[in-house]
Amino acid sequence: MSPSRPPMQLFVDRLLDRSMLGAAETEALLSLGGREVQVRAQLDIVPPGEEATSAWLVVDGLLGRFGQVIDGRRQITALHIAGDMCNLHALVTPRMSGALQALSAATVIRVDYRDLRHLVRTFPLIAEAFWRDCAAQASILSQWLVNIGRRDAQSRLAHLLCELAVRFEQARLGNRRAFRLDASQVHIGDALGLTAVHVNRVFRVIRDKGLVGAESRTILIHDWAGLAALGDFDEAYLHMKSHIVADALTSA
Amino acid sequence: MSPSRPPMQLFVDRLLDRSMLGAAETEALLSLGGREVQVRAQLDIVPPGEEATSAWLVVDGLLGRFGQVIDGRRQITALHIAGDMCNLHALVTPRMSGALQALSAATVIRVDYRDLRHLVRTFPLIAEAFWRDCAAQASILSQWLVNIGRRDAQSRLAHLLCELAVRFEQARLGNRRAFRLDASQVHIGDALGLTAVHVNRVFRVIRDKGLVGAESRTILIHDWAGLAALGDFDEAYLHMKSHIVADALTSA
DNA sequence: CGACTCATTGAGCGAAGTCAACGTCCGTGG
DNA sequence: CCACGGACGTTGACTTCGCTCAATGAGTCG
Q: What is the pLDDT along chain B (252 residues), one digit of tens a residue?
A: 445 578 899 999 999 999 999 999 999 999 998 889 999 999 999 999 888 999 999 999 999 999 999 998 999 999 999 999 999 999 999 887 789 999 999 999 999 999 999 999 999 999 999 999 999 999 999 999 999 999 999 999 999 999 999 999 999 898 999 999 999 999 999 999 999 999 999 999 999 999 999 988 999 999 999 999 999 999 989 876 543 444 444 443
What does the alpha-carbon distance between residue B231 and residue A48 come to, in Å, rounded to a whole number?
A: 18
pLDDT at A245 over 70: no
Element (H, E) at B170: helix B153-170
What does the alpha-carbon distance between residue B232 and residue A69 come to, in Å, rounded to a whole number?
A: 7
The answer to whether A143 faces chain B, any CB pair under 8 Å, is: yes
Nucleic strand C near CB of residue A197 (< 7 Å): yes
Which residues, at least 6 apart from A217, have a Cβ–Cβ distance to it below 8 Å? A180, A181, A182
What does the alpha-carbon distance between residue A57 and residue A35 come to, in Å, rounded to a whole number?
A: 10
Say yes or no for a CB contact (<8 Å) between B145 and A148: yes
DSSP SS3 for B240: coil
Probe site for chain A from B142, B155, B160, B238 (most A CB atoms < 10 A) = B142
Say yes or no for a CB contact (<8 Å) between B148 and A73: no
Chain A residues with beta carbon closer than 8 angstroms to that of B91: 248
What does the alpha-carbon distance between residue A177 and residue A226 come to, in Å, rounded to a whole number?
A: 12
pLDDT, position A160 = 98
CA distance A103 to chain B (A): 18
pLDDT, position B240 = 63
What is the C-alpha end-to-end distance of chain A, expressed in Å? 40
Probe site for chain B from A145, A156, A162, A235 (most B CB atoms < 10 A) = A145
> If 0-12 CB within 10 Å is exposed, 13-18 middle and 19+ buried, where does residue B121 land?
middle
Say yes or no for a CB contact (<8 Å) between A146 and B251: no
Phi, psi of A77 (to 5 degrees): -105, -10
pTM: 0.94
Torsional class of A68: left (φ above 0), alpha (ψ -120 to 50), beta (otherwise): beta
With beta carbons less than 8 A apart as the criterion, state whether A81 and A105 touch.
no
Element (H, E) at A138: helix A124-150
Nucleic strand C near CB of residue A196 (< 7 Å): no
DSSP SS3 for B251: coil
Show which positions of strand D are touched by protein (CB under 7 A): 7-12, 17-22, 28
* DSSP state, residue B55: E
> If 0-12 CB within 10 Å is exposed, 13-18 middle and 19+ buried, where does residue A76 land?
buried
The answer to whether B243 faces chain A, any CB pair under 8 Å, is: no
